[in-house]
Structure 1
Amino acid sequence: MHKGVLYALLAAALFGASTPFSKQLTGRVDPVMLAGLLYLGSGLGLATWFALRPVLVRDSTPALVPKGDIPWLAGAILSGGIAGPVLLMVGLVNTPASSASLLLNLEGVLTAMLAWFVFKENFDRRIFVGMVFIVAAGALLSWSERPEFGIPWGPLAIVAACLCWAIDNNLTRKVSASDPVQIACLKGLTAGTVNLVIAFSLGQQLPELTTVLTAATVGLCGYGISLVLFVLALRHLGTARAGAYFSAAPFAGALISLVMFGERPGIAFWTAAVLMGIGLWLHLTESHGHAHEHTMFEHEHVHDHDTHHEHEHDADVDINAPHSHHHVHEPLTHSHEHYPDIHHRHDHATQPQSK
């Protein structure tokens, strides 16, 4: 299995697992306060690791976000860490739970649409059909009754939240070569602070210390570490494909709920599981390869020496171990199978060879 796929599925599993654990906290913590604690726990936990990593990890040389990419990261934090959560809370007030669950599946669709048609990420018929199966599975899994939208502002706010997160995913891909811990840390701290400010302004109170620590731990695993893995998936797979694999998160949550709460899935769950399996199989068995040209460009990220990294180093750099430094990619033309990763964001003027 490609490591980018593994990163995406692990991210989905951690995020999906956070749902049943968060559910146990909803009766003790107000929703907006809980969101703040989850995000802030993520940010503070990753900040602690970020500070201790140079001491605990030998030869730790992460590629920090360069100044030129800060606008992309700021846009991602603004859209996904601030606007998205606020719009979701506004939308949930006036939207039935069944409708909200269905509408939240739009994030994957909008993420792929933006990646394909705005940011020009490559896709073919197989990937498109796979995405259709995956989205259908998510919609079926969340369907419990006929949606009754009532006041339209609630659903519109949830759709707007999904669009914000889709923008966030695509902008984060722009900085995915940089340190994923730094990226996820900044997102968590920002989103957590904003949600807590909203919660306090609504008169909500902090719960007892044990509940705060529990929520922070769930947030660190389900939001923080999950986001670190998702950024790595973006680096290796591109936005649409990483988002497709991440759509498996509800199934991880559902499976854990079966154990924690003794729930018994119905026909809809198993049908959705089959649809999800077909969609993931279409993506996993993708083969995309053609002659392509790499133009000269510069960036920094953790890398090994391979076909795309044949450059000189100072004598003190161990080229046999993963390392990070600013490097130049010379022009190169070759042919091999690849994903739209950070080294393969080229245009496809002609139909690529894909099967």
Structure 2
Amino acid sequence: MPFWRLRSVWRPNRLPPVNSAPPSYAKGIAQALLAAALFGVSTPLAKLLLGDIAPGMLAGLLYAGSGAGLLLWWLWRRVNAGESHEAALVPRDLPWLAGAVLFGGILGPLLLMFGLTHTPASSASLLLNMESVLTAVLAWVVFRENVDHRVLLGMLAIVAGGGLLSVQRIGFGGAGFGAIAIVGACLCWAIDNNFTRPISGSDPVQIAGLKGAVAGCINIGIAVAAGYHFPAPFRLIAAGLLGLAGYGVSLVLFVLALRSLGTARTSAYFSTAPFLGACVALWLFGEHPGTSFWLAGALMVVGVWLHISERHEHEHVHEAITHSHRHRHDEHHQHTHDFPWDGKEPHTHPHTHEPLRHSHPHYPDLHHRHKHS
């Protein structure tokens, strides 16, 4: 028997009182916004590296840096803590993870790197707002996640901004193709986001680490096979560190936000990333955007505001479910333990939710993925 379980027998198996107050999603919002900031800054910085590193090689190095850094973090945590406080991935999670790696870790970065070579950095950053729109559409239409009229209007505003930004640049072999490639990358990441949602209750460091390691190795292998070479050591390290922050830590925070907010809402907050990226690009590259750039940005700001100002509340039913994730004993977690518990929270173990009917403000988090009439 593990040492922590030997200690826990001296404490009663108790449950705290039910907290009837509506759940707070402030932590999930903060995680989504921080993830957006890290990814947004990484886009113009990646463009700085494209002059010396081929797009395919850079995509591989970014994810390889992410995977290496996060897996070292995961191993260090396992060695020092003895166990993870997050639920580990299980075999049924692997198809979802494989799909996320294919679309989000391989196809998406390749399309983005190609698009960046043919598109000004500020415009590329704003076009990345299409990820939140496409993510919400897939979540709504394919995965049946609830999206109300405010989210729909917000998506339309963001689409209008992206369209305005790209129409002025259409041209054969020029920025038009670059814009199409970036939108294609956004579609790949939208699929990735929806594939990641079903496994968001598992260890986010393990998810992001495995995704980065596999995607990085595959992209680097493709680049080497195509005849590209590794960059100088300084550029190599810079790409790895940029990938760790902008792709790795950002993804960990994104997965954590998915638990609290659901796919469409998390992506709505994440859509603030391009605005920060565009501001950094304007400063780094001395670009002078025209009126259409600022008008597109204004439309996107309106779209994001409509997303984040949504309030969703109605009577809903929780069906019986058994799963495992990091949790506290709140209104949705009133269960006993079949093992000695030392009373510490949060903690992770398989647990069963009994059917429950109630009403409070909520997002489609791990426990509110119900149907709507």
Normalised TM-score (structure 1): 0.87
Q: Which residue does the alignment assign to 1:219?
A: 243
The C-alpha deviation readout for 1:330-352, integer Å capped at 9, x for no partner, is 11111111001111010002xxx
Q: Which residue does the alignment assign to 2:170?
A: 147
CA contact (8 A) 2:313 2:362 kept: yes
Residue in structure 1 matching 2:74, options 38, 44, 50: 50
Q: Residues 82 and 274 (structure 1 numbering): CA distance in 2 closer, same or farther, change over 3 Å?
A: closer
Shift of the alpha carbon at 1:195?
A: 1.1
- Number of aligned residue pairs: give it: 346
Shift of the alpha carbon at 1:14?
A: 0.3
The C-alpha deviation readout for 1:89-110, integer Å capped at 9, x for no partner, is 6x759x9537x94876543332
Q: Residues 83 and 143 (structure 1 numbering): CA distance in 2 closer, same or farther, change over 3 Å?
A: closer
CA contact (8 A) 1:96 1:148 kept: no
Q: Which residue does the alignment assign to 2:9?
A: none
The whole-number CA distance in structure 2 between the counterparts of 1:96 and 1:50 is: 37
Q: Secondary structure at the match of 2:169?
A: coil
Shifted more, 269-278 versus 216-225: the winner is: 269-278
Shift of the alpha carbon at 1:80?
A: 2.2
Counterpart mapping for 1:84-103 below 5 A: 84-86=108-110, 92=115, 96-97=118-119, 101=124
One-letter identity of the residue aligned with 1:74: A
Q: Which residue does the alignment assign to 2:352?
A: 328
Q: Which residue does the alignment assign to 2:139?
A: 115
The whole-number CA distance in structure 2 between the counterparts of 1:135 and 1:156 is: 14
One-letter identity of the residue aligned with 1:244: A
Q: Residues 221 and 62 (structure 1 numbering): CA distance in 2 closer, same or farther, change over 3 Å?
A: same
Identity over aligned residues, as a percent?
Answer: 57
Q: Secondary structure at the match of 1:97?
A: coil
Q: Residues 298 and 149 (structure 1 numbering): CA distance in 2 closer, same or farther, change over 3 Å?
A: farther
CA contact (8 A) 1:302 1:323 kept: yes
Q: Which residue does the alignment assign to 2:318?
A: 294
Shift of the alpha carbon at 1:78?
A: 2.3
The whole-number CA distance in structure 2 between the counterparts of 1:59 and 1:68 is: 21
Normalised TM-score (structure 2): 0.83
Q: Which residue does the alignment assign to 1:181?
A: 205
The whole-number CA distance in structure 2 between the counterparts of 1:80 and 1:331 is: 35
Q: Which residue does the alignment assign to 2:7?
A: none
Q: Residues 324 and 138 (structure 1 numbering): CA distance in 2 closer, same or farther, change over 3 Å?
A: farther
The whole-number CA distance in structure 2 between the counterparts of 1:310 and 1:319 is: 13
Q: Secondary structure at the match of 1:325?
A: strand
The C-alpha deviation readout for 1:213-272, integer Å capped at 9, x for no partner, is 111000000000011111112221111111122121111112223444455555444434
Q: Secondary structure at the match of 1:334?
A: strand
Q: Secondary structure at the match of 1:24?
A: helix
Which runs of no fewer than 5 residues in structure 2 stay unpaired? 1-24
The whole-number CA distance in structure 2 between the counterparts of 1:194 and 1:302 is: 32
Q: Which residue does the alignment assign to 1:306?
A: 330
Residue in structure 2 matching 1:16, options 37, 40, 46: 40
The whole-number CA distance in structure 2 between the counterparts of 1:262 and 1:27 is: 17
The whole-number CA distance in structure 2 between the counterparts of 1:212 and 1:317 is: 47
Q: Which residue does the alignment assign to 1:72?
A: 96
One-letter identity of the residue aligned with 2:226: L
One-letter identity of the residue aligned with 1:145: Q
Q: Secondary structure at the match of 2:191?
A: helix
CA contact (8 A) 2:146 2:372 kept: yes
Q: Secondary structure at the match of 1:11?
A: helix
Counterpart mapping for 1:149-298 below 5 A: 149=172, 161-263=185-287, 266-298=290-322
RMSD: 3.0
The whole-number CA distance in structure 2 between the counterparts of 1:194 and 1:145 is: 35
Q: Residues 221 and 194 (structure 1 numbering): CA distance in 2 closer, same or farther, change over 3 Å?
A: same
The whole-number CA distance in structure 2 between the counterparts of 1:286 and 1:154 is: 33
